[in-house]
């Protein structure tokens, strides 16, 4: 059995007061019956606050993006050593919003994943197709291309240190729904691609579902054999909802 991982992606939300209330609510609601590993990935300005409030707890924290370069004249970027300074364990790379709004290529995402791994961070590599790609029957090609770029650059030995997240972009904010069975099929296909690179890693690598997981659908999604947790958006901004997903896990 692979351990379950539930990660909250706050996106561009939060304030010091709101964050404190949310994190304190999560910490207060954690109980021994919650078996899943838990983390929050927050905007860079709030990493210090997370370190202060979560240090010593069972909740890990991380960032939402990272630069490929270790330092230098890259205005606005945040490098791996800076994330280390604030005790980060995870960093999201290749989120659909980064790919879509900022034009991040498969190759750039792969370089970010490798930079994170080389620095001892765990990259959560997001992969997924748009509505247009889904309707054109291109899911396998898109998902396979995004994943292959990462596996090729990371290399055989380090594949097991990745966390993958399937984001069906077409099922986020479109009114369309990915059924647990549809999500499971893509997760299984992703695991099969990993298996071609590293048989052992395919059995241990965690593949999270990032398509609007909520308390109402979490249990059914997490019951699928190849869904190992969730990358949670809106529900991660409410302590009760986030805790309900953790309990479902």
Q: Return the active site residues.
A: 95, 167
Residue with tokens 């729904």: 177
In the three-class reduction of DSSP (H, G, I as helix; E, B as strand; rest coil), residue 4 is classed as coil
Q: How far apart are CA 87 and CA 62, in angstroms?
A: 8
The full DSSP string for 42-105 is: --GGGHHHHHHHHTTSSEEEEES---SSSSSS-TT---HHHHHHTT--EEEES-HHHHHHH---
**CA neighbor of 92 nearest in space, from 214, 170, 9:** 9
Radius of gyration of the chain (CA): 17
The helix, strand and coil proportions of the chain, stated in percent and rounded to the nearest 5, come to 50, 15, 35
SS3 at position 27 = helix
**Hunting for tokens 């604030």 — which residue is that?**
86
């Amino acid at each position: 059995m692979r351990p379950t991982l539930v990660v909250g992606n706050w996106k561009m939300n939060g304030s010091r007061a709101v964050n404190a209330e949310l994190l304190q609510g999560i910490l207060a609601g954690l109980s021994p019956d919650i078996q899943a590993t838990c983390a929050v990935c927050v905007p860079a300005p709030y990493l210090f606050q997370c370190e202060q409030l979560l240090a010593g707890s069972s909740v890990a924290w991380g960032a939402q993006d990272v630069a490929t370069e270790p330092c230098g004249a890259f205005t606005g970027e945040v490098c791996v050593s800076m994330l280390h300074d604030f005790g980060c364990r995870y960093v999201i790379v290749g989120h659909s919003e980064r790919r879509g709004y900022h034009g991040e290529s498969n190759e750039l995402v792969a370089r970010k994943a490798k930079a994170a791994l080389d620095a001892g961070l765990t990259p959560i590599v997001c992969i997924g197709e748009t509505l247009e790609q889904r309707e054109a029957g291109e899911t396998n090609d898109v998902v396979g291309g995004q994943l292959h770029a990462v596996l090729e650059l990371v290399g055989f030995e380090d594949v097991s240190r990745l966390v993958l997240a399937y984001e069906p972009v077409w099922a986020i904010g479109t009114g369309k729904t990915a059924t647990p069975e549809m999500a499971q099929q893509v997760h299984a296909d992703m695991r099969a691609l990993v298996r071609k690179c590293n048989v052992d890693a395919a059995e241990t690598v965690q593949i999270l579902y990032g398509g609007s997981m909520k308390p109402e659908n979490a249990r059914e999604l997490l019951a699928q054999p190849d869904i190992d947790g969730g990358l949670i958006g809106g529900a991660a901004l409410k302590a009760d909802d986030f805790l309900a997903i953790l309990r479902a896990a």
